[in-house]
Structure 1
Amino acid sequence: MLAHLPGLTESRGMATQHPHDHDHGTDQHGGHERGAHQHGDAGQMAAWQETDPAEWFTESFWDDRYRERPIWSGNANQRLVEAAAELTPGRALDVGCGEGGDAIWLASRGWQVTASDVSPVALDRARQAAGSAGVGEAITWEQADGRSDWTPPAGAYDLVTASFLQFPRPELGAFHRKLAGAVAPGGTLLITAHHADSHAGEGTPFTADLFATAQEMADGLALDDTWEVSATDPTREAVFPPGPEGQLMSVRDAVLRAVRRG
């Protein structure tokens, strides 16, 4: 579905579902529980630098990345863990699920999860991980591209989450409105993204226009007064650049949390 950026997150992709940076918090990719993230390595970053940016959001790009080896730590994203810890388990939609770290974490806590990604290779790996974790029956896996005409069912989920799925700014608001439309009354929308302060500029292939602050995401989504919206840009500790030569540093996320009033 989307595109996760490599480097300081954990779990997913960018164009369809990733330039995955899922694995959250100070995760170590793909998983949930944090420590110091090590999303991707120099080889993964080179794949971004050597590829036409128009390809970053495609199924083939992410399938190639996942075929090389596991990308994420398997841990859940820190921002999801923080937000979902206080929620009553129900129906969840994890968009851009990558190798399944967030979906598995949610299922292990009693959620019934629909998890989607643009990459069939990532979904196969996620399905296997969920089976090994004993939560395979609680998760439905779907291959989908968030940039297409894919739309989740309206009002169907108590939690809709997308972690580090970085779309080009002209497409961002429309994509987020799809996600908001899937939230049930009383449910929560949680969007976690990379902040340009930490992920764009010299030393990366990414420019600032690929990123939005939490407030910019909220403005683009333009929710009405039936929603309670929180937009924050918190920092966390992560390893950058990814890999053994990286340095532990503070990085900034953009976190939009919106609760649909019942």
Structure 2
Amino acid sequence: MFFRQLFDDESKTYTYLIANPNTKEAVLVDPVLEQVERDRNLLQELGFKLRYCLETHIHADHITATAKLRELTGCLGVLPEKAQVTRADKFIRDGEKLLIGSILIQAIATPGHTDSHMAYQVNDVSEAAPKELRVLTGDALLIRGCGRTDFQGGDAGILFDSVTQRLFTLPEETLVYPAHDYRGCTVSTIEEEKRWNPRFTGRDRARFIKIMTNLELPEPQKMMEAIPANVHCGNIAFPEIW
């Protein structure tokens, strides 16, 4: 399996390129509009054909590149099943799998940051592949943190349940790859986050809700342009008022 973590400095967004070197098929998870040329050039250099753009949720801090990459490559835009969006090619359900040859990408419903959030387990199930487990956690679980819950149908109690009952029950050696990081961290593990994540360690559900309710974070700078575009999979030709 080819696995590459890419970074957009402005939004602090991680995009993930996952590809099967044998079939040359690829998936981009959470692509950023301003990085289209970077991502397209990398695909061309490596000889990969983009099959899917896969989103963890409707982003508020950047415009997705899904619409532009679909135009350029013919890929399909895949969104979580409860996302209120237009122009998606496919909606993915909890537990549903995308297969790229021997690479299995399985959706895990993890609402709470938004009401339609998905995480994705990524495994190469071929017998010859190293048994390294990965999970793309989106904004549900960050490295030593978690996503906010104060808009887009967010709910702190539901996020606590998603992380503790869905993500923290994965094998502890599973590598954690978030959608964002603001401190230069790139990867963690489920074991590390269970032991050291200050939002969850030693917190019960009620305490977590209280912490999240009192964060008083500013709105994302691009929120008023990102969400209206992202409800159309990043197609900025549909500037609806959100």
TM-score by length of 1: 0.36
TM score, norm. by length of structure 2? 0.39
Choose between structure 1 and 2: higher helix proportion: 1
Q: Which one has a bigger Cα radius of gyration?
A: 2
